[in-house]
């Protein structure tokens, strides 16, 4: 289980590193736009990300 969790965390770091490495200017602009959002908007984006992640996890874990 811990090996799977560490593999998932490693993939998160790899995916998160793509944009700042390959497109630093675009990443900086996106980061500045995100920083200007209200707390409610940021929470909504976080909620949507959580729901998408949970949905994907459910699809992957469910037997076909």
Say what the pLDDT of residue 63 is.
78
Give the count of alpha carbons within 13 A of 5, CB side only.
Answer: 2
- Domain ranges across the chain: 2-61
Say what the pLDDT of residue 32 is.
95
Determine phi and psi for 33, rounding to 5 degrees. Answer: -65, -40
- Note down pLDDT in tens along the chain; length 64 residues: 789 899 999 999 999 999 999 999 999 999 999 999 999 999 999 999 999 999 998 998 887 6
37 within 8 A of 44, measured Cβ to Cβ: no
For residue 62, give the H/E element and its range: none
Alpha carbon 49 to its chain's center:
7
Say what the pLDDT of residue 61 is.
87
């Amino acid at each position: 289980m811990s090996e799977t969790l560490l593999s998932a965390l490693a993939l998160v770091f790899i995916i998160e590193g793509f944009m700042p490495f390959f497109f630093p200017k675009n990443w900086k602009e996106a980061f500045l736009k995100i920083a200007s959002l209200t707390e409610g908007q940021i929470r909504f984006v976080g909620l949507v990300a959580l729901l998408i992640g949970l949905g994907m996890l459910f699809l992957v874990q469910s037997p076909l």
